[in-house]
Structure 1
Amino acid sequence: MNIGTFAPNYNRIVDKTQIPTCNIMGVNIAAINMDWLLDFTDKNIKDLSGDYMCVSNVHTTVTSYNDADYCTVQNGGIMAIPDGGPLSTVGRKRGYEKMERTTGPSYMGEILKISAEKGYRHYFYGSTEETLEKLYKALTENYPGIQVAGMYSPPFRPTTPEEDAAVVKRINETKPDFVWVGLGAPKQEKWMAAHQGVIDGFMVGVGAGFDYFAGNIERAPEWMQKCNLEWVYRLMQDPKRLFKRYLVTNTKFIWNAVIRGK
């Protein structure tokens, strides 16, 4: 199954209409906060197996606005959470008072904290072998009793149908509750959409989450996160790669979502 295709005839068990959403530039962003999301996860984790959740920010939202297929991917999972602070800010201005920035790495961290108690099993798909080794060491040291069901670093090229089938079999045999996907956007969302109903586990695309927990990069200080300035911190860490992206996407977001009300 190649990235970019979609899983056919997926029958969702969880009622998606119970999730409040705010449509921003065509993407149905979940109008939620972390407490709501953790309670939702606790109540539905078994029924979420086979489904996926997007961790959405300004970049993915603007990309979706320009790419109808990717917008379908963003809206095709159980929900797209407001990882980017500007998304929750726009949502609150549109009347969703309880909507707060709910980041992928923070969600991952909260789930990891309770994993031993809940008996959750985790599979990690993405990144490099070196990062996965560091991630495993960090997880087992910082979260006693955590069950790491498996890890896999996919090749940096399109996989063949045979390779993909082998990976799906490998993941499903470990019986994970969560399948954390760290391929970066938009690749990780397309991969999850292509494997909806095929992977036995709740897929969550966490982007740089693997690097954060492996200790490769540091997250912004808490005060910067609360002030929606984590993007500034990331820009300082990787200006060459992120400057153009932020300049283009932030400008488009402000014009369309904030000024035009899209």
Structure 2
Amino acid sequence: MSTRRRLQKSGSIATAGRYLHAIASSSASSPPALPTTAEILGVPLAISDYEHVIEWMQAMIAARARGYVTAAAVNLVMCAQEDPEARAAVLGATLAVPDGQPLVWALHALGHAAATRVYGPDLMARFCARAARAGTPMYLYGGRSPEALGLLQKRLRERFAGIEIAGGFSPPFRERTVEEEARVVEDIDASGAEVVWVGTGQPKQEKWMLRMRPRLSAPLLVGVGAAFDFHAGLISQAPPWMQRNGLEWTYRLSREPRRLWRRYARRNPRFVAGFVRQYLRHRRARRA
């Protein structure tokens, strides 16, 4: 099953989602129950916390169920409004967690007081700590270069004693050929990884997970965006007080203005406007 609560108007999106969820459910007799979700601008987000999400991930691995997880920020929610392929990939996810604090505030405004932030980099770090103790093999797909990926592996091994990184690949910044993707599938499957961390940026990584999910034997693919750069030490994270107050985007913008200013200038105001409309509809429905 998926976290999706409703079929979309596009038949291709609905078909892609049904196909992917059929594959996921057929690979295990009793996949674990999903956390409760609520929609923000049509994207179902988990009302959960780190502990329960990690427990669900471990249960998926134990059941040999197959799925993929995305840590959804405002940018990804807005990509899903603009790009049908991105929307299919986001709605095809087995679980989407609220990576951004503004999404948590939006859930609270709709009455979901139990919602908490499940930040992709922290989710990765917390799971890696568990995986190091449990001996869970993991694969790293992403990174800005092979050197950056190598640095990430080094840092993770230093931080989490006993962590089993079964393999890794940093894809080129271009479309891959059929042969190249086949080699990646072969490498990931041969590694025996049970979790594939994907860090190629949103929505690129979600599209990749949707496309590759049927071809990979690993139970879980998890898209965590910039977590690779953060954990490799290539980019600093915003101070905790900025994260708590929904200001992380300003910190990241100050560090990478040329890359990020268009994203934030266009999508942040559109998100606010879109959610205000959703909130007003919610209020009217409650009064009816």
For normalisation by structure 1, the TM-score amounts to 0.92
Match among 118, 122, 126 for residue 110 of structure 1: 126
Tell me, yes or no, if the aligned pair for 1:123 and 1:150 is still in contact at 8 Å.
yes
Moved more, 156-165 or 206-215: 156-165
Match of residue 168 from structure 2? 151
Q: Amino acid of the residue matched to residue 34 of structure 1?
A: Y
Larger relative contact order (CA 8 Å, sep ≥ 6): 1
CA offset digits 1:45-90 (Å, max 9, x no partner): 2336541111111111011112233212111121111001111111
Output one character per residue of 1:180-230: Cα deviation in whole Å (capped at 9) or x when no partner.
Answer: 111111110000000113212210111111111111011111222122221
8 Å Cα contact 1:179-1:204 kept in structure 2 = yes
Aligned counterpart, 1:218: 236
Partner of 2:260: 242
How has the CA–CA distance of structure 1 residues 145 and 59 changed in structure 2, closer, same or farther, with 3 Å as cutoff?
A: same
Report the counterpart of residue 112 of structure 2 in structure 1. Answer: 96
Output the CA distance in 1 between the equivalents of 2:58 and 2:113.
23
* Structure 2 counterpart SS, 1:62: helix
- Could you tell me which of 91, 94, 101 is aligned with 1:85? 101
Report the Cα offset of residue 16 of structure 1. Answer: 7.7
Structure-1 separation of matches of 2:121 and 2:209: 17
- In structure 2, the partner of 1:252 is 270
C-alpha distance 187-34 of structure 1, shift in aligned 2 (>3 A): same
Q: Which residue of 2 aligns with 1:129?
A: 146
Which residue of 125, 140, 148 corresponds with 2:157? 140
Structure having the higher helix fraction is 2
Equivalent residue number for residue 198 of structure 1: 215
Report deviation, 1:39: 2.2
Question: How far did 1:17 drift?
Answer: 6.3
Determine what percentage of the aligned residue pairs are the same residue: 35
Q: 1:10 aligns with which of 4, 23, 33?
A: 23
Q: Which residue of 1 aligns with 2:182?
A: 165
Select 2:43's aligned residue among 15, 19, 27. 27
The letter for the 2-side match of 1:171 is: I
Q: Residue type matched to 1:101 in 2?
A: R
What's the RMSD between the two structures over aligned residues? 2.1
Distance in 1 (CA, whole Å) between partners of 2:56 and 2:47 is 13
User: How many angstroms does 1:25 deviate by?
Assistant: 1.1
The one-letter code of the counterpart of 2:129 is: K
| Structure with larger Rg | 2
Aligned length: 259
Of 41, 52, 59, the match for 1:43: 59
Structure 1 pair 93–15 and aligned structure 2 pair: CA distance change class (3 A)? farther
**Residue identity matched to 2:191:** T
Give the match for residue 188 of structure 1: 205
- Please name the residue that 1:62 is paired with: 78
Say if 1:243 and 1:209 are closer, same or farther in 2 by CA, change over 3 A.
same
Q: Is the 8 A contact 1:53 1:205 kept in 2?
A: yes
Check whether the contact 2:199–2:228 (CA below 8 A) recurs between aligned residues: yes
Change in CA separation of 1:51 and 1:260 when aligned onto 2, cut-off 3 Å = closer
Is the partner of 1:196 in helix, strand or coil? helix
Structure 1 unmatched ranges of 5 or more:
none
Alpha carbons 1:26, 1:71 under 8 Å: kept: no
